[in-house]
Structure 1
Amino acid sequence: MVQSVQRAVQILRELSTSGPRLGVTELADRLGVAKPTVHALLRTLEGEGLVVQDRESAKYQLGPALVGLGNAYLDTQELRTRSLTWADLLATRAGEAVWVGVLTGDHVLVVHHAFRPEGAVQILEVGASIPWSTCALGKAVAAFAPEAERRRLLAGDLAVLTGASITDAAVLNSQLEQVRGTGYALEDQESALGDAGIAAPVFGRSGEVVGAIGVVGPVERLLAESARQDIAVAVRETARNLSRDLGAPRGGARGAGV
């Protein structure tokens, strides 16, 4: 690795997770490097628009150029591009919002969000990053990930966002086995109180899981006995159609129904 590039990335990550504004001294302490080195890196990042300095506090925050880079990533993300129509159809069928996500490290990045059909005010969640173990999207991906990747995720720190978040790796592993059997994953208020999710894995042309698509909404609507099975069927069918759109081979992974 190129150390200077690695440190620059660490600065951006610190500003994204510990910010919104941090000073040179704070960043130097967090990175464990000398202040002159951090200052030089910050000036370089500032010159490229990746960070900006607040005039009043002299502290740094993320810059506007990152928006362009993020949008460029989304524009070239094939899963997102292919999912636009399918997500809208699923949102209409389920009457709820639909998210499409990909696994990045130990988090799920929401790359597309189709609003629920009703006209109420809704917040766009594209770009949201959610611990994999607390959401149906993450469980759907992890269940069909290669065994080594699944072991890595289960061995890592399991996030606690609510009292319902699962921190026992054995319990999670049991859930993932169930997901492999049913072809869909459930989330019951594990990332936000009152919210639930039902998601299914999406496969690419290589046959490997590339992400997940799922319905999100109030727990009383999604997980009610009268609605859960119908939504799960709709989610799984949509994931299968999206997988085929991506060129996934027929037969797919066991339980996924591709």
Structure 2
Amino acid sequence: MAKNIQSLERAAAMLRLLAGGERRFGLSDISSSLDLAKGTAHGILRTLQAEGFVEQDPASGRYQLGAELLRLGNSYLDVHELRARALVWADDLARSSGESVYLGVLHQHGVLIVHHVFRPDDSRQVLEVGAMQPLHSTALGKVLAAYDPVAHSEALEADRKSFTARTVSEPDAFEETLGLTRARGYASDVEETWEGVASVAAPIHDRRRMPVGSVGITGAVERVCGEDGELRPQLIAAVRACARSVSRDLGAGRF
């Protein structure tokens, strides 16, 4: 069995110590509490401080938890609440559409799948929670890039790889696609990422009306699109209704 990395274990113990205290800790307090040499404790604290996980009071020199931990914690709580609020609505969408449902959030220049409901049939399927999808070609990603300024910047800066002949990769054409997404309130991906696969997704907003994720369905082109090659209107309506329901549950109000 692989051994744990000692320096990471010590850093974790240090963060737990600072989290459990009702006051700031001095270097001597930390080193004695964790049975570490002062030089070792100071080195770990310096690293944590550089990453924003620990802050040092300029006047006393004592240490406390940093703002970066709060940001990470809020990010986890936001995603956790988003997924919890979306569970029932995503199940309903899968049943009504007959297709797989995905819930995505912005993460590391892509779309992180945080919830996946299988297509309600007996076909063999693979759970894709934790998978990453591109921002520029998927319906989930285009929705985030259209409504979230950070996702927009990351999509423009990224290498917009052409996965198929239909992938929109040129900057001007991509911006036009995002404008259309905002105007319609949903994004589409008809064989732009995978041959024979089509998707439609809509944005989810929180109580501040900020975009916090996207929800959509994915399936075979012949099921998701009509004979004219366009997305089936009833599926678009179902996805948008799901997104509005989750948004309302997050406090966004009616829109």
Identity, % of aligned positions: 43
Matched to 1:202, the amino acid is: I
Please say if residues 144 and 151 of structure 2, whose CA atoms lie closer than 8 Å, have aligned partners that are also in contact: no
- 1:129-208 map, 5 Å: 129-146=132-149, 149-208=151-210
1:115/1:75 CA distance change after superposition, 3 Å: farther
Shift of 1:241: 0.5
Q: Structure 2 vs 1, CA of residues 193 and 89 (structure 1 numbering), >3 Å: closer, same or farther? A: same
* Deviations, residues 188-239 of structure 1 (Å, cap 9, x unaligned): 1122111110000000111110000001001111122586111001100110
Q: Is the 8 A contact 1:74 1:111 kept in 2?
A: no
Compare CA radii of gyration and give the structure with the larger one. Answer: 2
Indicate how the Cα distance of structure 1 residues 115 and 169 shifts in structure 2: closer, same or farther if over 3 A, else same. Answer: same
Of residues 84, 87, 110, the one that matches 2:87 is 84
Give the alignment of 1:3-22 within 5 angstroms.
Answer: none
The alignment partner of 2:114 has SS state of: strand
The one of 227, 231, 236 aligned to 1:232: 236
- CA RMSD in angstroms comes to 2.2
Residue 249 of structure 2: which of 241, 245, 250 is its match? 245
Amino acid at match of 1:99: Y
| Structure 2 Cα separation of the partners of residues 102 and 133 of structure 1 | 14
Is 1:217 the counterpart of 2:219? The answer is yes
Query: Which stretch shows the higher mean deviation, 113-122 or 222-231?
Result: 222-231
Preserved contact between residue 108 and residue 131 of structure 1 (Cα < 8 Å): yes
Contact preservation (8 Å) 1:140, 1:185: yes
**CA–CA separation in structure 1 for the residues paired with 2:80 and 2:184:** 27
1:124 maps to 2:127: yes
In the TM superposition, residue 126 of structure 1 has moved relative to its aligned partner by 0.8
**Residue type at the aligned position of 1:162:** T
CA contact (8 A) 2:93 2:242 kept: yes
Unpaired stretches in structure 2, ≥5 consecutive residues: 1-6, 9-75
Q: Tell me, what secondary structure is at the counterpart of 1:153?
A: helix
Aligned length: 180
> Is the contact between residue 202 and residue 243 of structure 2 (CA under 8 Å) also seen in structure 1?
yes
User: For the Cα contact (< 8 Å) 1:155–1:169, is it kept in 2?
Assistant: no
Moved over 3 A (4+): 73-76
Specify the alignment match of 2:102 in structure 1.
Answer: 99
Are the counterparts in 1 of residues 139 and 199 from structure 2 also a CA contact under 8 Å? Answer: yes
Would you say the 8 A contact 1:103–1:141 is kept in 2? yes
* Alpha-carbon distance change, 76 to 169 in structure 1, aligned in 2, over 3 angstroms: closer
The letter for the 1-side match of 2:119 is R
Q: Structure 1 regions of 5+ residues with no counterpart?
A: 6-72, 251-257
* Secondary structure at 1:133 match in 2: coil
Q: What is the TM-score of this pair, normalised by structure 1?
A: 0.65
Counterpart in the other structure of 1:114: 117
The Cα offsets for residues 83-123 of structure 1, whole Å up to 9 and x where unpaired, read as: 11100100111111100000113210111011111121111
Could you say what secondary structure the match of 1:164 adopts?
A: coil
Quick one: structure 1 residues 125 and 247, their matched pair in 2 at CA, closer, same or farther if it must change by over 3 Å?
A: same
